[in-house]
Chains A and B, each alone.
Chain A
Amino acid sequence: MSFESDLKKFQDKIDKALDQLTTGDSLKSIGAFEAELIKRRSRLGFGVPEDFGPKVKFEPLAPSTIKARKKKQLAAETSVNKSNLTETGQLLNDIVAKIKGRETIIGHTKDRNKKIGAFHQEGGGNLPQRRYLGLAKEDLKQIKAKLQDNFNEILNKLFK
């Protein structure tokens, strides 16, 4: 059989593999991965620029904030001086992924966090902007690696 006719027959299998990559459990796992990626990057103290460029360190905390944090019970994922959008942990813990068709939708579930999230995302007044919602260049690279690994796995199952 010629390579061309083999390829045509094979195309159905490739389409099936790609289809599996972007539906069902695979897409769910990608959505969950994206949500965790954003939480982890933010907790490590990095935000995103507006143009999918490299991640950027969050603005440091104001001296008054540091002073106030000394009297608070902080979550284990932060410290008095660490600027990582974490005090109790509620804001970042609330980031979740939903699946709609072939899309992953990442966002908050609680009204409180939607509002606080918007303040940080946009900044204003005395609050410096700390953009955490979105994807940095490094995030996209991690998602790409995850997709490639998932695809290789699907291929292994399809072509035993």
Chain B
Amino acid sequence: MATKHQFVDVKIPSGYSQDILDAIGSEIISVIRKRTAKNLDVDGEKFPAYSKEYAKSVDFKAAGKSKGDINLTLSGDMLANIEMLQAKRNTVRIGYEKGSTENAKADGNIRGTYGTPSPIKGKARPFLGISDDDLQKILEKYPVDSDNNDAELRAQAIKIANDKIDKRLKDVNLNELSSAEVDKFFTLSIGKKK
């Protein structure tokens, strides 16, 4: 079976500005990553164990993984590539770029296929999505009918931070390497310089 495009549409109340939708999307993605790092799926259930073959593999050891920590992280690229694909009116779409390598990895985990034509029983690890409770906790930070501007302000904070993070990561500074030895090879400065 072909790889499926993996995304979830999260329904949220209408009436939010685009900036708030973007901020909510960013917070949903953070929740997914943090929950997955705790070995929990969308419903808060523990992920099924890794197979013995996988746990014995060189890549498993090379990545520093441990059998008891089912965090869906080998290279780390799959969880880092969760994106907000769309945000409009009352829906935020979270998922992967269609056809990407990371989408294929996510698909293997979510459906439990792992490169096989059909799902392997008991091996699905549905990590992409958010429970009603977790979503509610996020939405409480963005009150719609409020006398204050908390929702818009929090959204602005996230927007400003994301812009600064983007800007700083463009300024990564790789030091010149000495031909004799590598002393320090790069510095990364983030945030405002003093």
- The residue of chain A having its C-beta at the shortest distance from the C-beta of B147 within the complex is A1
- The number of inter-chain residue pairs (CB within 8 angstroms) is 176
Taking CB atoms, residues of chain B closer than 8 Å to A57 are none
Which DSSP category, helix, strand, loop or mixed, fits chain A's interface? helix
Find residues 160-183 in chain B having any chain A CB closer than 8 Å to their own CB: 160-162, 164-166, 169, 172, 174, 177-183
Task: Give Cα A138–Cα B75 distance, bound, in whole angstroms.
Answer: 9
Taking CB atoms, residues of chain A closer than 8 Å to B33 are 145, 149
- The residue of chain A having its C-beta at the shortest distance from the C-beta of B166 within the complex is A144
Q: Are B186 and A44 in contact (CB under 8 A)?
A: no
- The residue of chain B having its C-beta at the shortest distance from the C-beta of A17 within the complex is B157
CB contact between B188 and one of A14, A34, A36, A78 (< 8 Å): that residue:
A34
Task: Give the interface size bracket for B toward A.
Answer: 35 or more
CB contact between B181 and one of A7, A118, A135 (< 8 Å): that residue:
A118
Most buried by A among B34, B150, B165, B180: B165
Task: Give Cα A121–Cα B164 distance, bound, in whole angstroms.
Answer: 31
Q: Are B58 and A79 in contact (CB under 8 A)?
A: yes
- The residue of chain B having its C-beta at the shortest distance from the C-beta of A159 within the complex is B154
Q: Are A7 and B156 in contact (CB under 8 A)?
A: yes
Q: Are A118 and B182 in contact (CB under 8 A)?
A: yes
Taking CB atoms, residues of chain B closer than 8 Å to A141 are 77, 80-81
10 pairs, A vs B, C-beta closer than 8 Å: A43-B62, A44-B59, A44-B74, A105-B186, A118-B180, A121-B185, A134-B185, A144-B165, A148-B26, A148-B161
Add 5 more A-B contacts to A18-B192, A30-B188, A152-B27 (CB < 8 A): A27-B190, A115-B181, A141-B77, A145-B80, A152-B26
